[in-house]
Amino acid sequence: MQTSFDTLTPLARAAVPVSSAAFAPELVLWEDTLPGGAHWSGRINRGTTLRFTDVEGAANLSALFYNVEQTTERYNMPDTLKAQHTAFLTKGHALYSDMGRVLCSIPEDSCGWHDSVCGLLDAARSQAKYGSGRYQELRNAMHRNARDGLLIELGKWGLDKRDLVANVNFFSKAVADDEGALHFDTAHRKPGQYVDLRFEMNTLVVLSAAQHPLDPNPLYDPKPVKITAWRSGIAGADDVCRRLCAENDRGFINTARWFL
């Protein structure tokens, strides 16, 4: 018999709640707003959810995730996509590490599509697209690019470019045609759209709110992202992400074993 949630021992099943909490204002732990182009990193523990909100309707949030207890374990784009037979992320999906565990999952999402394959811009390509934007002239309105933003944050944790892997771009949508050519969907983003990332592991979260690499806007005009951290608990036995597919049922079992 193959292992599934229903075959677990009573003690292993008892470590899983019936459900995680639904969002409520009294569950909020803290809030912050990442200005457009800014970068951020922090430790988010198992059982906490980050709600990202596209305040103005044209934000992009590039993100990477690491097991904070063992940072060679990190978000793995191919493992995430092939386990769930999808090229994008939305409600019900889990974000897998390379070790077969769920770093975080998406129990709620008003956007419907988050890009997983397009990557980000570095300093040279950002400057080629948007021109120069130095601190000397612009002070804190200076241009920031996603790669340097992520590298700055990784550096704070003793990590470097060797730890930089394919990132998620929350809020952004790029569709592949039959030949594989990618087309950015500007109509996809709307003010107030949000996505919940519920953390199933103690995770180093690294973020940049710089523009998406395929964003056709020729101007440097990155938009802010509101972060709301709230206490949700982990995915329950009835959870939409756990129940999405047999693959996720097994991924959540692997994840629980890290903590049992």
Partner 1 sequence: MPAQILESSLAPAHAVLDQVCAAGEPWMGRVAKGQVFRITDLEGNQAVDTLFYNAADIGERYSLTHTIQAQGGLYLGVGTQIMSSEARPMLTIVADTCGRHDTLGGACACESNTVRYALEKRYMHSCRDNFLTALASDAASATPTGLTKRDIVSNINFFMNVPVTPAGKLTFEDGISAPGKYVEMRAEMDVIVLVSNCPQLNNPCNGYNPTPVRFLVWDAH
Q: Which helix (H) or strand (E) holds 149?
A: helix 146-155
Pairwise CA distance, residues 222 & 152, whole Å: 18
Token pair for 103: 């770093």
Give the C-alpha separation, 205 to 144, whole Å: 19
Q: Is 248 helix (H, G, I), strand (E, B) or coil?
A: helix
For partner 1, the closer CB: 56 or 79: 79
Contact string 9-48 vs partner 1 (x = CB under 8 A): ----------------------------------------
- For partner 1, the binding residues in 98-157 under the rule CB under 8 A are 98-101, 113, 117-120, 122, 124-125
CB of 68 to partner 1, least distance (A): 16
Q: How far apart are the first and last CA of the chain?
A: 22
Of the candidates 183, 206, 208, which has an alpha carbon nearest to the alpha carbon of residue 113?
183
Backbone angles phi, psi at 138, to 5 degrees: -105, -5
Q: Which residues, numbered 63-102, are part of the site for partner 1 (CB under 8 A)?
A: 72, 76-79, 81-83, 85-88, 96, 98-101
DSSP 177: -
Measured from the CB atom, the residue of 50 and 120 that comes closer to partner 1 is: 120
Nearest distance from C-beta of residue 161 to partner 1, angstroms:
5
**Which residues form the interface with partner 1 (CB under 8 A)?**
2-3, 72, 76-79, 81-83, 85-88, 96, 98-101, 113, 117-120, 122, 124-125, 160-167, 175-182, 213-214, 247-248, 250-251, 253-254
